[in-house]
Amino acid sequence: MVEQSIVYVGMGNCLKHYIAIWDFIVSFFADTQLGAKLLSTKCDVFHLSDIFENFNLLNKQLQENNSDLISSKSAITAYIRKLQLYKNNIRHCAFEQFPCLASINSDLQDEDLALYGEYLENIHEDMQTWVGNLLGMDILIWVSIPFEVNIAEIDISLQKSLNKIQSDEIMHAQFKDEKYNIWKTNDVAAKYSLLWEKVQFYIIAFPTSYLVEADFSRNFSQMLSKDCNRLDIVKRDDFQQSLASIEPNIYINYSRRINHRDLIE
């Protein structure tokens, strides 16, 4: 059981797995100087576990297959607003959003709560700086709600094309499915070129390290597998980029060498 717990510590939110075996770890180091240090940082560790869990949830949203600048802005904006709520709640001893911290409620001191509130405020300010360009990006209303916007209120050069889209019952039904983005299809790019010229800049993925991590993980696993003795990375092309086979179903903006910073400034 101990070995299995140690394996879990290396997965996902490490601190969450770490505190799951907290009592065992404390007892293991009870007779050492580290044992006293562990006990003195208990509240901090439990608090950070909750914070990292929230970060992980946001990160997963940014890494979804259908993620784009529009959905990423929405997710990050919502998270930043939550930080203010978290700060106020934790200062008033409301731990509904902090299950790990709630489990050690009796160990918390007033100075701990003040410190954690200040920490959340710092995160709130830092995130507004880190993703300021994305938060300031002006998304055209007809891109977000193409079937609800009043056509008379948009650019006259786009009214005819948008009217055709709003009259397409099949596309309307597809748009209602949140997992389906009508702008990420060859049909829209080919049939509504005027709209596509405007919308293409919004549907690229928010830049994260997810693709690199996924590629490295797959190749690393391959190296450790039973097939590794048949690989010759130098002489052959066995060690290929595993994501190179991905073929998008839309016209790629990257071919025009437009970087993410240019798109969101």
Q: How far apart are CA 4 and CA 253, in angstroms?
A: 45
Residues 2-59: tens digit of each pLDDT:
333 333 344 446 788 888 888 888 888 888 888 888 888 899 989 989 998 888 888 8
Instruction: Retrieve residue 65's tokens.
Output: 């297959």
pLDDT at 10: 40
Q: Could you tell me which of 55, 61, 60, 105 has the C-alpha nearest to residue 82?
A: 55
**Beta carbons of 15 and 45 less than 8 angstroms apart:** yes
pLDDT at 40: 87
Range 142-166 average pLDDT: 90
pTM exceeds 0.75 for this model: no
pLDDT at 80: 94
Residues 87-96: tens digit of each pLDDT:
999 988 999 9
More reliable by pLDDT, 252 or 161? 161
Question: Could you give the percent of the chain with pLDDT greater than 90?
Answer: 23
Residues 220-236: tens digit of each pLDDT:
555 555 455 544 444 44
Mean pLDDT for the chain overall: 76
Range 114-130 average pLDDT: 92
Tell me the pLDDT band of 248, cut-offs 50, 70 and 90.
very low
Instruction: Retrieve residue 54's tokens.
Output: 């929230």
Tell me the pLDDT band of 112, cut-offs 50, 70 and 90.
very high
Say yes or no to pLDDT of 122 above 80: yes
Residues whose CB is less than 8 angstroms from the CB of residue 29 and which lie 6 or more positions away in sequence, other chains included: 35, 38
**Residue 58 main-chain phi, psi, to 5 deg:** -65, -45
Question: Could you give the percent of the chain with pLDDT greater than 70?
Answer: 71
